[in-house]
Amino acid sequence: MAKQTVGIGSAANDGTGDPLRVAFDKINDNFTELYNYQPDTALQADGSVDSTGNQLFQGHVAIGADAAVSATTLLTLEETIDAASPVVAVEYVLDIENTGLIGTAATSLYLDTTNSQEPTLVSVATLYGIFVEANQESVEDMLDMYPFFASPVSLAGSGNITGDYAAFFASSPSWNGGKPVDAIAFKANNQGASSITNSYGLHIVKQTGAVNNYGIALLGDDLGADIAFGASQDVRQHFNGTNLEFEGSGIAHTAATVTHDGYVTIAINGVAYNFMTGT
């Protein structure tokens, strides 16, 4: 129902307004619709109410005192918050109560970035699945800053989880037509600066407490599960299922004393050589 306005006439007591019964009937209708409205019931784009609980917003949305609608952003959240307690930009909680949930995956937040049009600036266009940025603009010291923080899974029930992944990069991408030159699951750009004491491309804290603890695990045998050294990956180190091998043209030796007996296999031009080590 559209809002009904009580006719009050052109001037006081001129007899052109709504009669009392008609006026209060409109008021009652307006109040009835107001009190029957459920805040958790969806409001559709055309203003109608959907009793199924589904909500649809057509167009671009801006939320927050400092937010402005942008023609290139579906949802804009922006507001300056002055608070002494921890501040959360967006809090999204998904509580799954369906006890079935068999043969399917539960996703808390799903982001799909698809480019279906050819960019005008093909050579400089970049497509991000998710872009996270943290800025510290205060002169006060801060202990830590995490552009991306993944909290470990919390098990409240008795069920077990086979794998607990802080971050998982899907394997076997599908390339139709053009393919990337480099397919990189994780890349750390240069973190160094003159004012930084220590710069780490990858920093792994000692793993303890489990039955087996691994700082880094390279799964598989031979090439493909190796460590590559050099800007052009000139030297590679890998385990062939039996021995630890070094392969490449730029292999050098060290004069440092080796305290454990054994040998290292180095493959040069396809020929494997065993080098004895020990005291």
Q: Is the overall model pTM greater than 0.75, yes or no? A: no
Average pLDDT, the chain: 79
Categorize the per-residue pLDDT at 245 as very low, low, confident or very high, splitting at 50, 70 and 90. Answer: confident
Average pLDDT over residues 93-105: 72
Q: Calculate what percentage of the chain has a pLDDT beyond 70.
A: 77
Helix (H, G, I), strand (E, B) or coil at 135: coil
- Residue of 97 and 262 predicted with greater confidence: 97
CB atoms within 10 A of CB 26: 16
In the Cβ-directed half-sphere of 266, how many Cα atoms lie within 13 Å? Answer: 13
Average pLDDT over residues 185-204: 90
pLDDT of residue 212: 93
Q: Across the chain, which distance is largest between two alpha carbons, in Å?
A: 115
pLDDT of 256 over the 60 cut? no
Categorize the per-residue pLDDT at 261 as very low, low, confident or very high, splitting at 50, 70 and 90. Answer: low
Q: How many angstroms separate the CA atoms of 263 and 278, rounded?
A: 8
Categorize the per-residue pLDDT at 258 as very low, low, confident or very high, splitting at 50, 70 and 90. Answer: low
Residue-wise pLDDT tens digits, 9-68: 888 888 888 999 999 999 999 888 888 766 544 455 555 555 665 666 677 888 888 999
Q: How many angstroms separate the CA atoms of 277 and 262, rounded?
A: 5
Residue-wise pLDDT tens digits, 136-192: 888 888 888 888 888 877 777 777 888 888 888 877 777 777 778 888 888 888 988
pLDDT of 250 over the 60 cut? no
Q: Calculate what percentage of the chain has a pLDDT beyond 90.
A: 14
pLDDT of residue 99: 62
Average pLDDT over residues 118-135: 77
Beta carbons within 8 Å of 113's beta carbon, 6+ residues apart: 127, 128, 129, 130
